[in-house]
């Protein structure tokens, strides 16, 4: 594979993206089928999703031959270190892009689109534009909530990279961050200063004061799925 050919390189990236997306989409469809009681269709979606994962991995191996381990026994210490470091570097790169660029820009755009739609609604009074404005509002809020999550992911990988390089062990701050709680399912971080205005939780509301029927605004997990947030930290070995 000549990766100097930019079109094939770009196509491999696109194919990896497409297969990865198909995998998650089919898992979503499997959930839908399961909820609607069609276990057989749910299984078909799950099985196909697993195959899409293999397709995605095949593309990724061509994109990153430096990460392909064919015979683990023949990999010596320094090679193992280099491969794992590369995985962590790529992971940090992706998460950092998400929290510094992608989600902040998406959130800005969704806010602008919502305002545009709200104006259209004012002019036309159509139910559809009202619905769009609601979706954009929710999108802006989700993008905003995802920004600290991706930051948290990048930090966790950064700590793992430091640990890999022998600078300590990956761990967490012994004390939780004051007032902050994290969803065990999706890593949404509840910050009392921000609250969850979309769900009627005003800024300044401590987590303990949130009603028990409140749900995670990202993944819908129950309040009981949240635990006090300890941020990732490198601990002495």
Give residues in contact with Fe ion (CB under 5 A). Answer: 95, 150, 153, 183, 185-186, 188, 216, 218-219, 221
Please count the other Cβ atoms lying within 10 Å of the Cβ belonging to residue 203. 11
Instruction: Find the shortest distance in angstroms from Cβ 218 to Fe ion.
Output: 5
The residue among 47 and 198 lying less far from Fe ion, judged by its C-beta, is: 198
Whether 103 and 147 have beta carbons less than 8 Å apart is answered as: yes
The residue among 10 and 219 lying less far from Fe ion, judged by its C-beta, is: 219
The residue among 84 and 91 lying less far from Fe ion, judged by its C-beta, is: 91
The residue among 202 and 219 lying less far from Fe ion, judged by its C-beta, is: 219
Whole-number Å distance between alpha carbons of 79 and 85: 10
Instruction: Find the shortest distance in angstroms from Cβ 8 to Fe ion.
Output: 28
The residue among 44 and 91 lying less far from Fe ion, judged by its C-beta, is: 91
Instruction: Find the shortest distance in angstroms from Cβ 108 to Fe ion.
Output: 20
Whether 45 and 57 have beta carbons less than 8 Å apart is answered as: no
The residue among 5 and 24 lying less far from Fe ion, judged by its C-beta, is: 24
The DSSP bridge pattern shows strands 169-172 and 189-190 to be unpaired
Inter-axis angle of helices 77-97 and 127-164, nearest 10: 150
Backbone angles phi, psi at 179, to 5 degrees: 80, -10
Instruction: Find the shortest distance in angstroms from Cβ 198 to Fe ion.
Output: 14
Q: Helix, strand, or coil here: 228?
A: strand
Residue 182 CA to chain centroid, in angstroms? Answer: 14
Instruction: Find the shortest distance in angstroms from Cβ 81 to Fe ion.
Output: 24
Whole-number Å distance between alpha carbons of 159 and 149: 15
Instruction: Find the shortest distance in angstroms from Cβ 210 to Fe ion.
Output: 14
Measured distance between the N- and C-terminal CA atoms of the chain, rounded to whole angstroms? 42
């Amino acid at each position: 594979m000549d990766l100097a050919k930019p079109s094939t390189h770009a196509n491999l990236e696109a194919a990896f993206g497409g297969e990865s997306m198909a995998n998650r989409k089919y898992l979503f469809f499997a959930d839908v089928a399961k909820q609607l009681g069609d276990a057989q269709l749910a299984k078909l979606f799950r099985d196909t999703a697993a195959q899409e994962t293999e397709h995605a991995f095949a593309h990724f191996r061509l994109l990153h031959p430096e990460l392909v381990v064919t015979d683990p026994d023949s990999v010596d210490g320094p090679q193992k270190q280099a491969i794992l470091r590369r995985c962590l570097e790529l992971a940090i790169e992706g998460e950092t892009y998400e929290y510094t660029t992608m989600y902040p820009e998406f959130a800005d755009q969704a806010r602008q689109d919502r305002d545009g739609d709200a104006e259209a609604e004012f002019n036309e009074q159509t139910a559809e534009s009202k619905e769009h404005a609601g979706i954009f509002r929710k999108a802006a809020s989700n993008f905003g909530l995802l920004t600290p999550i991706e930051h948290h992911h990048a930090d966790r990988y950064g700590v793992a990279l430091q640990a890999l390089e022998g600078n300590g062990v990956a761990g967490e701050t012994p004390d939780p961050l004051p007032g902050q709680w994290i969803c065990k399912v999706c890593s949404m971080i509840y910050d009392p200063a921000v609250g969850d205005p979309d769900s009627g939780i005003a800024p300044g509301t401590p987590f303990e004061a949130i009603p028990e029927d409140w749900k995670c605004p990202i993944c819908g997990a129950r309040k009981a799925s949240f635990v006090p947030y300890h941020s990732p930290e490198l601990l002495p070995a």
